[in-house]
Amino acid sequence: MYIIEMRNITKIFPGIIANDDITLQLQKGEIHALLGENGAGKSTLMSVLFGLYTQESGDIYKNEEKISIKGPNDATKYGIGMVHQHFKLVHNFTVLENIILGVETTKRGVLQMDKARTRVVELSERYGLSVDPDAYISDITVGMQQRVEILKMLYRENEILIFDEPTAVLTPQEIDELMSIMKELIAEGKSILFITHKLDEIKRVANRCTVLRRGKYVGTVDVDTTDVETMSEMMVGRKVSRTVDKPDASLGDVVMEVRNLTVNSKLHNKSVVNNVSFDVKAGEIVCIAGIDGNGQSELVYAITGIEPASSGSISLNGKHIANIPIRERSKAGLAHIPEDRHRHGLVLDYNLAYNLILEKYYTPRFQKSGFLRFSEIYSFSDMLIEKFDIRSGEGSHTPTRSMSGGNQQKAIVARELDMNPNLLVAVQPTRGLDIGAIEYIHKQIINARTNGSGVLLVSLELDEVMNISDRILVMFEGEIVADVDPKQVTFAELGLYMSGAKRDEVAV
Amino acid sequence: MRTFIQRRQAGILSLLSTLIVIIAGLTIGFIVLLISDSEQAWTAFWTILSFGLRTMRNVGDVLLSATPIILTGLSVTFAFKTGLFNIGAAGQFAFGGFVAIYIGVVGADYIIMPAWISWTGLEAIPPIAPPLRIILSIVGAALAGALWGAIPGLLKAYRNVHEVITSIMTNYIAMYLISWIIQNTIIDIAPFTTQSLPADSNLPTMGLEYIFREPLGAGFRTSNVNIGILIAVAIAILVYIILNRTTFGYELKACGYNKDAAKYAGINQNKNIVRSMMICGAIAGIGGALNFMNGTGLSMTASPALAAEGFIGISVAFLGLTNPIGVIFSGVFVSYLFLGGARIQPFGFSLELVEIVISVIIYFCAFVLLVKTNIGKLIFRRKD
Ligand SMILES: Nc1ncnc2c1ncn2[C@@H]1O[C@H](COP(=O)(O)OP(=O)(O)OP(=O)(O)O)[C@@H](O)[C@H]1O
Ligand SMILES: [Mg+2]
């Protein structure tokens, strides 16, 4: 007997069958992982279960009984809750308001906030989901936003919990916390559907795993008795290597020189990047490691021009760029894979082709006396789609908003790598990508390095940091506290630097 | 190929649903008429529905009064695509209209130079030749509108003041300023309005009067429709081209859709906000010019009042789904309703009621359309 059974679900979008006759069986009290490449149809299947999409065919059963879910309200009625890949919180509402939104308790039309607050506080204490009920969503970190999403489900007393790539936006510490919360939840008899691209997470918490490939059902396996290689092969259809071949670095001249860079926070008048100096050479991948919130984002904003630097200098191939417009930086050979793909990286209402020319539309190749050259634009876009295997329903014409999260990310990476930059600033470039795509993107970044680009990589994932960087700078509280060689440093040692327990005097 | 067919189907579908929405809007309007006077309701309703098509002259009049609201509709549309809400079309329209009248009136006669430049030997400027005068009127109106649009644009770009607030203020400033200038320059005291435009300061009709006329006795009664409507259509096409075919439009829409991504892409958002507001000001300003240069002898009153066309433009824009080509049709539709609506007063409906009925129809249509497309988008967009 399954608590939820989705039988032969088919869901079609313009130009693509996102789910093709898929069956998924969830047992009570299990963590069931859903694995598949970017665009395989995982989010779509979960959205069908949550009532956001209506399937073309197939049925859903709860405890052997056929149910029909026409919208999220129905889903809530059947005890199904979902944490979305891109959170759906109201930014100018408080945490508390977001949690009770839609299920407010009222007395003669007046909101009963006190009761709600007591329950939220109680829930957050019980599960160790620390949140500030009165903070505005716009002011809290993604980690906390996710806790709010989880509390939303708990508040509704959902018993079937869907997590769509919850770990993609979390720091390693937060991931650990989430994993133990998930285990606690199933111990209480809840059942969890868990989407992730990280096989080790599946190994750690999941009982069974269902694999999808290009919209089709591949199989369901028992996690304990199946090794990681088998699962990834099921998902991609070929063997994937987890480490990348990297030729030794052949360092060239200094590409970027950062000296005494200080960035003051917009919120308070303290410096979040404090007197930072370092170099990036041509043919070198320098990685900025650190726990989220130690000034990495602000450092990147200052280098790329999203926010101004307060003092200090940045030069790119000898040209001072700290105070020039973003367009000029881009012309000087700076490419940027931004941290927040929906906020900075894409114009979601433009189609894919338009997004792929976002930093090039004004060049003679794509424009003639102010008129866009459509045939050039679309053939360029088709070329990048092919080269980077960006999957979507309608190719260049796909509305970017409708693309799967991982394919949106691939589009950004494709666009930035295609600039042949002198310096590539890549923030979490593989966030949300499947292992095949990660392998490919890593190769591309290494290729860029071989071709003489300097790369500044910001990553929270230590695996990525260790695998592809040539040099690691650790940031702690706005300062660089270590400059180490990945071949000579251990995970444990990095951890010490990152937590501020150890620091070196770093000189340029 | 497959997607092409799907897109065409989608087009047909949206046309069809627009029609359904309009029928629904009309039904509501009819109900309002029924409530106010059930006996006359049907005749009145039929008049609204059919009047605009009864004679070719009426058709011409529909086009004539559609002209200014198409332009204010385009003005709102243009701003909207850039992520701005141009409430200021009323002021830009009025300013454009006034400048056009001013040039048309003053330029038709000798302009006596003031005494302090008599040393130049220049005593008077001779009248400006009519075609040039007309062109100058339109260009002047565009510039005046652009100037008036630039103010909220600049404040938004460099002082981060919301354009809705500043455009409401500029509307009132325009209103009083124009009233004051009229009273001190080209006032015609008796009716307390500007002087009427001399005939040759009006837009040419280019033979349109031979098409849009109705028999009257032995001769014809002609509509005042003129090339203004053609100018409006041309501007709509131009706006469409700018928005969809040029790098400028690409930048503007990127700013409108996602300003953070536009910034990331190196697009200078502030510059684009100002440019966009100037362009929509210019379009509304031209609307003002065409409104008064239509040969009906319409003149601007010196008693301050906000130009209704500016606000009608908002409904025209949304009814046209903020698509420049759609705005042509919605402008004609709204003008059609107003023309027919004006004819039901003889059946005992007060002017206020007529306006209520028309507004109910327009707003209902716009509202439903907006909801419909947004729901469509939601379903379509809903991701992850
Ligand atoms: N609303 C939509 N409209 C049109 N196409 C869509 C829509 N949602 C998803 N698709 C398409 O369906 C396919 C499956 O998308 P889905 O988001 O389910 O993938 P996913 O497995 O969650 O991938 P990822 O790991 O990248 O998040 C993709 O090709 C996507 O382009
Ligand atoms: Mg997904």
Domain CATH number, residue A484:
3.40.50.300
A90 near A40, Cβ under 8 Å? no
Q: Would you put residue A245 in left (φ > 0), alpha (ψ -120 to 50) or beta?
A: beta
Contact A350 B257 (CB under 8 A): yes
The whole-number average pLDDT for the span A448-454 is 92
CB contact under 8 A, B250 and A372: yes
Ligand 1 atom at shortest distance from the alpha carbon of A37: 25
Whether B305 shows a pLDDT value over 90: the answer reads no
Highest mean pLDDT among A212-221, A229-238, B37-46: A212-221
Ligand 2 mean position to B148 CA, how many Å?
47
Q: Give the closest residue to B100 by CA, choosing from B281, B288, B226.
A: B288
The verdict on a CB contact (< 8 Å) between A402 and B248 is: no
Check whether residue A221 and residue A266 sit in a common domain.
Answer: no
Give yes or no: residues A160 and A287 share one domain: no
Give the model confidence (pLDDT) of A30-61 as tens digits: 999 999 999 999 999 999 999 999 999 999 99
- Residue A408 lies inside a defined structural domain of this protein: yes
Does A245 share its domain with A224?
no
**Atom 20 of ligand 1, residue of closest alpha carbon:** A39
Max mean pLDDT range (A92-106, A480-494, B250-264): B250-264
Alpha-carbon distance B72 to B282, whole Å?
A: 10
Contacts with B257 from chain A: Cβ below 8 Å:
347-350
- A91 and A55 in a common domain: yes
Q: Do A221 and A309 fall within a single domain?
A: no
In this structure, the answer to whether residues A414 and A427 fall within a common structural domain is no
**Pairwise CA distance, residues A353 & A355, whole Å:** 5
CB pairs under 8 A between A and B: 92
Q: What's the pLDDT score for residue B116?
A: 79
Confidence of residue B7 (pLDDT cuts 50, 70, 90): low
Task: Please state the rounded mean pLDDT for residues A362-380.
Answer: 96
Q: How many residues does chain A have?
A: 508
Q: How far is the CA of A164 from the centre of ligand 2 (A)?
A: 7
As beta bridge partners, residue B4 has none
The percent of chain A in helix, strand and coil, each rounded to the nearest 5, is: 35, 25, 40
Please list the residues that pair with A31 across neighbouring strands: A192
- Whether residue A291 is contained in a domain is answered as yes
Neighboring chain A residues of B264 at a CB cutoff of 8 Å: 304, 306, 326, 336, 338, 344-345, 358
Positive or negative, the Cα torsion across A431, A433, A435, A439? negative
- Ligand 1 is surrounded, with C-beta below 6 A, by A 13-14, 16, 18, 36, 38-44, 85, 391-393, 402-407; B 380, 382-384
- pLDDT band of residue A100 (cuts 50, 70, 90) is confident
Reading the block at residue B52, the tokens are 């605009």
Structural domain contains residue A443: no
Confidence of residue B382 (pLDDT cuts 50, 70, 90): very low
Residue B69 above 50 pLDDT? yes
Q: Are A189 and A288 within one domain?
A: no
Measured from the Cα of A44, ligand 1's closest atom is 18
- pLDDT(B376) > 60: no
**Ligand 1 centroid to residue A182 C-alpha, Å:** 25
Reference B29, options B373, B365, B313; nearest CA is B365
Identify the domain containing residue A347 by its residue range.
Answer: 342-418
Tell me which of A414 and B130 has the higher pLDDT: A414
**Record: contact A84-B384, CB cut-off 8 A:** yes
Q: Tell whether A411 and A429 lie within a shared domain.
A: no
d(CA A112, CA A418): 55
Average pLDDT over residues A426-434: 90
* Residues A250 and A101 placed together within one structural domain of the fold: no
Residues with CB under 5 A from ligand 2 (ion): A 43, 85, 404-405
Q: How far is B246 from chain A (nearest CA, A)?
A: 4
Q: How many domains does chain A have?
A: 3
A349 min Cα distance to partner chain B (Å): 7
What is the C-alpha separation between B360 and B29, in angstroms, rounded?
6
Let me know if residue A446 belongs to a domain: no
* Same domain, residue pair A429 and A405: no
Amino acid at the residue A88:
K
Distance B244 CA to ligand 1 centre (A): 27
C-alpha triplet A247, A253, A257: angle, nearest 5°: 115
Mean pLDDT of chain A, nearest integer: 90
Residues in Cβ contact with B304 at an 8 Å cutoff, skipping those fewer than 6 apart? B175, B176, B178, B179
Residue A65 — left, alpha, or beta (φ > 0 → left; ψ -120 to 50 → alpha)? beta
Q: Is residue A442 part of a domain?
A: no
Q: Are residues A267 and A208 in the same domain?
A: no
Decide if A447 is inside a domain: no
Nearest ligand to the CA of A36 is 1
Residue A445: inside a domain = no
Q: Which spans in A92-171 are helix H?
A: 95-100, 113-127, 142-155
Q: Which residues of A touch B (CB under 8 A)?
A: 14-15, 43, 47, 52-53, 84-86, 164, 304, 306, 325-330, 336, 338, 343-350, 354, 358-359, 361-362, 367, 370-372, 394, 397, 399, 401-405
Q: CA-CA distance, B125 to B114, in Å (whole number)?
A: 11
Query: Given a cut of 70, is residue B4 above it in pLDDT?
Result: no
Q: Is B384 on the interface with A (CB under 8 A)?
A: yes
In terms of domains, do A82 and A44 share one? yes
Half-sphere CA count of A234, side-chain side, radius 13 A = 21
